[in-house]
Amino acid sequence: MHMVFTVAVAGASGYAGGETLRLLSGHPEIQIGTLTAHSNAGSALGEHQPHLRGLAGRILEPTTAENLAGHDVVVLALPHGASGEIASLLPADTLVLDLGADHRLVDPAAWTEFYGSEHSGTWPYGLPELLLASDVHGERAVTKQRENLAGARRIAVPGCNVTAVTLGLQPGVAAGIIDARDLVAVLAVGYSGAGKSLKTHLLASEALGSAQAYGVGGSHRHVPEIEQNLRLAGAPEVTVSFTPVLVPMSRGILSTATARLAAGHEHATLTDVRRAWEQAYDGEPFVELLPEGQWPTTAMTVGANTALVQVAIDRRAGRVVTVTALDNLVKGTAGAAVQSMNIALGLPQTMGLEHEGTAP
């Protein structure tokens, strides 16, 4: 005997929605219910997600609360700013996972500064491996966000770049080895992270053979979310210079994130540093510190819910350099959603996510 949960997906014709469906198709306890879209409502999913052969004939319904109601789980793969209203209309006991940014930030002012609209409220954050540092009798205790997701009925799935930077740096923050002021992160990112919108700079002719930065100078909306995470991981103060660079691949994020060694840790050895990362990810099924000397590539993670991390000390620069690879659509978005869903529903967190990556 096994339970089957029904899932509706709003925004099924986009990249995040499609990836969610790909993962759910292989999930043994899930039955895929209603699929909705905005301008593509009325057409068959096969026109938009032709790789999902098993769902090709499904007709997309308009994205309304009525169409989404009546499922155990609703996944919202909508543009930023669009999920607040519809979420408020869904029953409280439905598990709602928001792949957009609307419910990630705790601070309403940060939301308004970076997104320019009114804040929709804050939901439990869907990064189970997020480290949460607290002081217990003067000692630092570190727990993980996973426990906050058990039984949750609203989950805000993190931004893909945020996950890459957070997973790379947080062990050093929680261990007090690195200084979270003056972080610098530069990410090579694939085009699917920019979605399916029709913009000239997203055309293949523009992308092929080129690299282009965007959101330079602290304006990217992922900045406050990174800061929020690393504060939770134990940093009293966080500043991060964050620059994503679009490179000619459809998927993947390779994040190079660097921090100065914290005061008192200037002479930390690589063994010391690695120990912090090993401890943070010991037993984690989806986040791994690679063996010394092996550097992550995005190809190692394509299609899998895997984040691979490596760390080095640059003595000359006095900095720890971390490199993190993940698939923006899986561990960066849809895989994180399924993993969080599993936890919220009381299923094994790896269910439907055990498959290896697809390389080369």
Q: Kindly give the residue spans of alpha helices, DSSP state H, lying in 55-201.
A: 65-68, 83-88, 108-115, 146-149, 160-174
Cβ proximity to a second copy: between 234 and 252 the closer is 252
Cβ proximity to a second copy: between 122 and 256 the closer is 256
Q: How far is the CB of 229 from a second copy (least distance, A)?
A: 15
Cβ proximity to a second copy: between 11 and 252 the closer is 252
Q: How far is the CB of 355 from a second copy (least distance, A)?
A: 5
Pairing of strands 307-314, 287-289: parallel
Asked if residues 168 and 323 have their Cβ atoms less than 8 Å apart, the reply is yes
Q: How far apart are CA 129 and CA 74, in angstroms?
A: 23
Q: How far is the CB of 141 from a second copy (least distance, A)?
A: 29
Q: Which residues pair with 73 in a beta bridge?
A: 7, 95
**Residue carrying structure tokens 């979310």:** 225
Pairing of strands 131-136, 253-261: unpaired
Q: How far apart are CA 293 and CA 301, in angstroms?
A: 18
Q: How far is the CB of 193 from a second copy (least distance, A)?
A: 9
| Pair of tokens at residue 35 | 């699929």
Asked if residues 256 and 189 have their Cβ atoms less than 8 Å apart, the reply is no
Residue type at position 295: W
Q: How far apart are CA 288 and CA 290, in angstroms?
A: 6
Cβ proximity to a second copy: between 132 and 276 the closer is 276
Q: Which residues pair with 37 in a beta bridge?
A: 62
Catalytic residue among 10, 156, 160, 268: 160
Report helix, strand or coil for 189.
Answer: strand
Cβ proximity to a second copy: between 25 and 279 the closer is 25
Asked if residues 45 and 22 have their Cβ atoms less than 8 Å apart, the reply is no
User: Is there a catalytic annotation at residue 8?
Assistant: no
Cβ proximity to a second copy: between 85 and 354 the closer is 354
Q: How far is the CB of 120 from a second copy (least distance, A)?
A: 23
Gyration radius of the chain over CA positions:
20
Q: How far is the CB of 105 from a second copy (least distance, A)?
A: 15
Q: How far apart are CA 130 and CA 165, in angstroms?
A: 11
Residues whose CB falls within 8 Å of the CB of residue 147, separated by 6 or more in sequence, listed in order = none
Whether the bond into 79 is cis, omega within 30 of 0: no
Residue type at position 209: G
Report helix, strand or coil for 288.
Answer: strand
Cβ proximity to a second copy: between 4 and 141 the closer is 4
Catalytic annotation, residues: 160
